[in-house]
Structure 1
Amino acid sequence: ARGRVKRGEATNGGVALAGVILGVFAVVVGLVFIAVWISLLREVGAQNYFDCLQQAGQDRAKVQECADKFRQSVEDRFSVTEKPTG
């Protein structure tokens, strides 16, 4: 769209510029969001959880144990507890 404005084929230069700016802003916000999530996952021990799952293999009891440990890690870190459903 910016190229067409420069060639005189369009008159919506402001809208095209706003689109470019919003697009760049969205990419930056997305990258920040990803960085925050990665940081939070590291902080609560996600790598330990993934390692535990890999070692557990197909053993459902061990997989559940990994999930329980990870849940406890999150609860301890953020001082929250999961409310039982049902």
Structure 2
Amino acid sequence: MSNLPPPSTPEPGPSYEPTSSNPPTAAWDQPTSSPSSAPIPPPPPGFSNDSGARNGAGTASLVLGILSIVTGLFVIGIVLGIVGLVLGIIGRKRAKRGEATNGGAALAGIITSIIGSLVSIAMIVFVVVLLSSGSFSSLVDCLDDAGDDPVAQDRCERDFEDDLFGG
């Protein structure tokens, strides 16, 4: 057999009762306070959520400029282009004053807004010229006369193209 002593049971220690003479020692033992009285520590360097940059105008200008190009075939493209141009100018001015950090995006927004506006204006001019030309009214009259006859409709189409493009 072995010469080891028999296992003993530990004796219970003193119970812990927080009192003013016995202060808490761990963080979870600290008394709670209201959130307004506890100071909030500053974020670590590089993690500030207040960078001071006001990049919204430049970013919005770029988004609106792209949308004005996409919707350039419709009248809404010119509206988006004008708003995008104004926001782009605001964004560039903020970047020059150091209030924004996305001067390049604002410039791209200005360029895309101008392109989108020009596409919209060109489409409006094209539609107005087309509708006011005698060729369009001749096409409408010819198609009315053609009815459901596909051969006559093709002839109307060829005549219209010849009128437009001088063929």
TM-score range, shorter chain: 0.5 to 0.7
Q: Which residue of 1 aligns with 2:101?
A: 11
Q: Which residue of 1 aligns with 2:155?
A: 65
1:1-86 matches, cutoff 5 A: 2-3=55-56, 11-12=101-102, 14-42=103-131, 43=133, 45-75=135-165, 80-81=166-167
Distance 2:162 2:117 in 1: 33
TM-score by length of 1: 0.56
For these two proteins, the number of residue pairs brought into alignment is 73
Coordinate RMSD, CA, aligned: 3.1
Residue identity (%):
23
**Higher normalized contact order (CA 8 Å, seq sep 6+, divided by chain length):** 2
TM-score by length of 2: 0.34
Structure 2 unaligned spans of 5+: 1-53, 60-90, 95-99
**1:44–1:74 Cα contact (<8 Å) kept:** no
Secondary structure in 1 matching 2:101 = coil
Larger relative helix fraction: 1
C-alpha change, 1:20 and 1:68, in structure 2 (3 Å) is closer
Structure 1 consecutive aligned stretches of length 4 or more whose deviation exceeds 3 Å:
none
Higher mean alpha-carbon deviation, 18-27 vs 64-73, is at 64-73
Structure 1 unaligned spans of 5+: 82-86
